[in-house]
Chain A
Amino acid sequence: MILTWVYWAITVFVIVLVVRSLYREKSLREQFVAAMVLVPLLLRVLFIK
């Protein structure tokens, strides 16, 4: 159970990094990729999927 929350914290951290990357990226294509990456991370951090 502790490991689950460690992974949850890592996922939150990765979400922050991806959102940061989304805003720092100048290429629309790379922004789109970052947005796609966010979807499963959001679902996982909410314990939905």
Chain B
Amino acid sequence: MFEKRYLASRFSATLLLLGAVAVAAISAHSYLRMHHPGPDVDRVVPREGFVHKRLSDYFQGLQDTPADTDVYVQEGEQPGGTLLVLGGTHANEPAGVVAAVVLLENADVKRGRLIIAPYANLMARTHTFPQDAHPQTFGFETSGGVRRTFRYGARTTNPVNEWPNPDIYIHPASGQTMAGVERSNLNRAHPGVADGGMTEQLAYGFMQLIKQEDVDLAIDLHEASPEYPVVDALVAHERAMELAAMVTMELEFEGIPIRLEPSPKNLRGLSHREWGDQTDVLAILMETCNASAGRFRGRTGEALVLTGEDKAYDKAAELGRLYVPWESWDKRIAERVGRHVTSVKLLAENLEFVRDDAGIVIEGLPAYTSLSEEGVGAYLRD
């Protein structure tokens, strides 16, 4: 016979086990919504003229894998250069994603070709980091009153797609050692490995796209925390430095303060380093200021993603811990997206000055001031 105490313990164990299963089921429902968010989340409405492709069209190894992602190509009537824009390399950097979508929904290419992958790492869009309290989605209202919703993901690939990470990641192309989690970071996985982990295969797919499409200029859209030294900046491979310097000056003339940073030669796996080293492309990465992914932030939600306003960052600015003039800085996502879109437009326009016959003319893009004043929703389609 069981003692009374043991029976009670067994009963409570069963109750707690059922409780754990119930909590897991509720959590599972919430997490699965990130995997299958429905047709209205992350929806894009490309402007007429874009041809829909998949990254697996360039690297068949990605077909039927969670890494395969949409690629849109628009070709102008006049021949010219080819521009590749990646949004969503890091899914927790929303202005990079939204800027790519704004480009996709507004760009009218008159000369050259524009290739856009708005959600570069789809596997990073199916989860958020534990204990970061990030919202699962954020959104905008269009002029027609339709809410456009986007997932707020994580910096790295979901562990369910690539598990476990090693203690130390050895970057295959260079042998450089990094923290194990970097294996799942698309922006440490370039130039990729055809038979590597899912993130390495994804990076390999983009490298094949660059080679097969003979891309002249490749831009990777990011955001950085206000306490990160490289914020509101263009990071350029040495061959792209002349172009980036011209555009930096033009941005300053337009009243958009921007830094210009050289791509560090000894930091491997990054898009601006590996694309530039392995191919003829001019590789540039762009960063805007994103408090929602910063370590100092306080209450985290959609409002922080959209406004960038945060009391904890106000305090950090008082203490001089930030790399942007916080009090006078416009931190709204409309400004950050405007900064990205304007930079892409200027880089495309100036390309012909550094590369013969590679001019690109894109019309239809919103001006920095229009985006900043009217908001992102005004430039998203219903």
Query: Which residues of A does B touch, CB under 8 Å?
Result: 3-4, 7, 19, 22-23, 25-26, 28, 31-32, 34-36, 38-39, 42-44, 46-49
Contact = CB atoms under 8 A, between A and B. Distances in A.
B16 A46 contact: no
Given A22-B16, A26-B6, A31-B12, A48 B163 contact: no
Given A25-B9, A26-B9, 19 more contacts: A3-B164, A4-B163, A19-B17, A22-B13, A23-B13, A28-B12, A31-B12, A34-B16, A38-B17, A38-B24, A42-B21, A43-B31, A48-B31, A49-B27, A49-B28, A49-B31, A49-B127, A49-B159, A49-B160
Nearest to B128: A49
Contact of B27 (A26, A34, A35, A43): A43
28 contacts: A3-B164, A22-B16, A23-B9, A23-B10, A25-B9, A26-B5, A26-B9, A28-B9, A28-B12, A31-B12, A31-B13, A31-B16, A32-B16, A35-B19, A35-B20, A36-B20, A38-B21, A38-B24, A39-B20, A39-B24, A42-B20, A42-B21, A42-B24, A44-B160, A47-B160, A49-B28, A49-B159, A49-B160
B32 interface: yes
B28 A43 contact: yes
B1 to A, nearest CB: 17
A7 B163 contact: yes
A32 B19 CA distance: 10
Contacts of B6: 26
Question: Chain A interface mostly helix, strand, loop or mixed?
Answer: helix
B354 interface: no
B23 interface: yes
Contacts of B32: 48
Most buried by A among B21, B24, B159: B24
B5 A22 contact: no
A34 B242 CA distance: 59
A38 B20 contact: yes
Contact of B23 (A7, A23, A39): A39
B10 to A, nearest CB: 6
Nearest to A27: B9
A28 B68 CA distance: 47
Contact of A35 (B17, B159, B160): B17
A32 B17 CA distance: 9
Contact of B164 (A7, A23, A28, A31): A7
Interface in B6-55: 6, 9-10, 12-13, 16-17, 19-21, 23-24, 27-28, 31-32
Nearest to B10: A23
A7 B23 CA distance: 23
Contacts of B10: 23
Interface string B130-168: 000000000000000000000000000001100110000
B27 to A, nearest CB: 6
Most buried by A among B16, B27, B127: B16
A25 B19 CA distance: 17
Q: Which 5 pairs between the two chains have the least Cβ-Cβ distance?
A: A35-B16, A42-B24, A35-B20, A38-B20, A47-B160
